[in-house]
Amino acid sequence: MEQYTISEIARLFNVSTRTVRYYEELGLLSPVRKENGQRVYARKERTRLELIFRGKNFGFQLDEIKEMIVLFDQDRTGERQLKRTIQYGKEKLREVDARIDELNKLREDMTWYLESFVTKLKEGERE
């Protein structure tokens, strides 16, 4: 059985031990504690951390990630989790599309201004 200390799991994901403890405080992770109080992280926590970081990469908030994780714990078929993940995913895609539209508009505006500045500079050189 795979087991990791907090330092090992933090190093594995290139985060601080404080980050790992924070996720535990939020209820995203639930390591087993040895008699001496040391946290032991099993494969389940490693998988959860993979999901957390993947979710964060896609722009999900920690409360959204937590909801999806909790849904899986409540329904081991994963159906409720998948439905909610699809819903969140569609929302994120709409946000990404809106941001792309904003960036395209910004690019068009910048291009127009640059072209007009170049034209103005060339006209000034002719005088």
Ramachandran assignment for 42, one of left (phi > 0), alpha (psi -120 to 50 degrees), beta (any other): beta
pLDDT digits (tens, 9 = 90+) for 3-43: 999 999 999 999 999 999 999 999 999 999 888 989 999 99
What is the band of 82 on the pLDDT scale with cuts at 50, 70, 90? confident
What is the band of 114 on the pLDDT scale with cuts at 50, 70, 90? very high
Domain boundary among 37, 57, 77: 57
Do 9 and 69 lie in one domain? The reply is: no
Do 49 and 66 lie in one domain? The reply is: no
Do 75 and 21 lie in one domain? The reply is: no
Domain boundary among 12, 28, 57: 57
Do 53 and 28 lie in one domain? The reply is: yes
Return d(Cα 41, Cα 11) in angstroms, integer. 13
Domain that holds residue 94: 59-127
Do 36 and 87 lie in one domain? The reply is: no
Do 18 and 71 lie in one domain? The reply is: no
The tokens describing 72, both together, are 């899986």
Do 72 and 97 lie in one domain? The reply is: yes
pTM to 2 decimals?
0.73
Do 119 and 97 lie in one domain? The reply is: yes
What is the reported pLDDT for 72? 76
The tokens describing 15, both together, are 């985060």
pLDDT digits (tens, 9 = 90+) for 60-72: 999 999 998 888 7
Domain count for the chain = 2
